Amino acid sequence: MADWLPLFFLGIMGLALLVYIILDGYDLGIGILLSRAEEDEKDQMIASIGPFWDANETWIVLGVGVLLIAFPAAYGLVLTELYLPATLMLMGLILRGVSFDFRAKAKTQYKQRWNRLFALGSLLAATSQGWMLGAYVVGLEHSAVGMAFSAGIAVTLPALYIMLGCGWLIMKADGSLYEKAIAGARWTVLPMGIGIFLLSIATPIVSEVIAAKWFTLPAAIGLLPIPISTSLAYAAIVWVLWQRRILDAGFGWLVFVCLIVICLMSALGLAYSIYPDIVINRMTIWDTASSPESLRFTFYGVALTVPMILVYTVFIYRIFSGKATKLSYE
């Protein structure tokens, strides 16, 4: 059993971070879009994410917690190398949390200020996460190429989050906000697609390890479903966005589902590229895993906690399904 415990914890950590990117991704995307909306639309946007706020952010706590407990050496290395962007991300998340509460309690003349701070915190958190992801892919190297790659993902990830936010609002909003969500998605889908395409080309260029895994036979053939599925999902998004009959008939959820497919395929590609390393060219999961006794003890806690988080998340999303209602603090 001990031989499989590092793989188990790696899978849980990967699942937690993937779910976080999808769920808190639309959350952050709506936050970034907040500054472009009218006052009544802002309240509707906040109402669309309010019930899910805590459930979404639970997943990043789980992912980082598993990294700390199961792979402490990797945790120390990653957080040391990414100290600045991690700090900026936390500042952005804190700013979002404070603004989320204070906008509801502030006097009318100060409410707009808290809205702007909420949007700023969302953009700061999204950009920092993109930079951290880029730096992680290049093995935490501080080269000019690595920094350029990190900057590329720092721009592309917020675009993905905005698309997720627009997809969420297409499902949850109505009226003028519904129209703006469609327009925003149409404006953002091309930059997001270009960013993903260019980064897909750049990734094997900046990492010889990843290039060797993707462009050797028979692996290259076996991996074809990943880029094909991503391309088909992207094409489906573009097609649906320009088919008003489909959107107005209640099938706007297809946009969000296709974005989930893109996130899932990207995660699978990244997992294959890195494994068995937990930090490319630095350490494997076997090098940094905690002792078998510690992992075995933690296993029972995680095996109990993860299903509870899943049930909690599903319950919240089921209870508050449907269109977002008018925001009220009474």
* 1 — pLDDT class (breaks 50, 70, 90): very low
Is residue 327, in this structure, part of any structural domain at all? Answer: no
Is residue 293, in this structure, part of any structural domain at all? Answer: yes
Give the Å distances, CA to CA, from 191 to 37, 143, 185, 212: 21, 26, 10, 28
* 30 — pLDDT class (breaks 50, 70, 90): very high
Is residue 328, in this structure, part of any structural domain at all? Answer: no
Is residue 330, in this structure, part of any structural domain at all? Answer: no
* 326 — pLDDT class (breaks 50, 70, 90): low
Is residue 256, in this structure, part of any structural domain at all? Answer: yes
- The conformational region for residue 175 under phi > 0 = left, psi -120 to 50 = alpha, else beta, is left
Q: Report which residue type is found at 230.
A: T
**Average pLDDT, stretch 112-125?**
90
pLDDT (tens digit per residue) in 246-296: 998 888 899 999 999 999 999 998 888 888 888 888 888 888 888 888 888
> With pLDDT > 70 as the criterion, what percentage of the chain qualifies?
96
Is residue 326, in this structure, part of any structural domain at all? Answer: no
Domain count, the chain: 1
Is residue 165, in this structure, part of any structural domain at all? Answer: yes
What is residue 328's predicted lDDT score, i.e. its pLDDT?
A: 58
Q: How many residues does the chain have?
A: 330
Backbone angles phi, psi at 91, to 5 degrees: -60, -40
Give the domain CATH number at 149.
Answer: 1.20.1630
Residue 327 has pLDDT above 70, yes or no: no
What is residue 2's predicted lDDT score, i.e. its pLDDT?
A: 57
**Average pLDDT, stretch 231-242?**
95
**Average pLDDT, stretch 16-37?**
90
Average per-residue pLDDT for the chain:
87
> What is the value of pTM for the model shown?
0.92
What is residue 106's predicted lDDT score, i.e. its pLDDT?
A: 62
Is residue 325, in this structure, part of any structural domain at all? Answer: no
Domain span at residue 305 reads 5-319
pLDDT (tens digit per residue) in 66-84: 888 999 999 888 888 999 9
**Average pLDDT, stretch 206-226?**
84
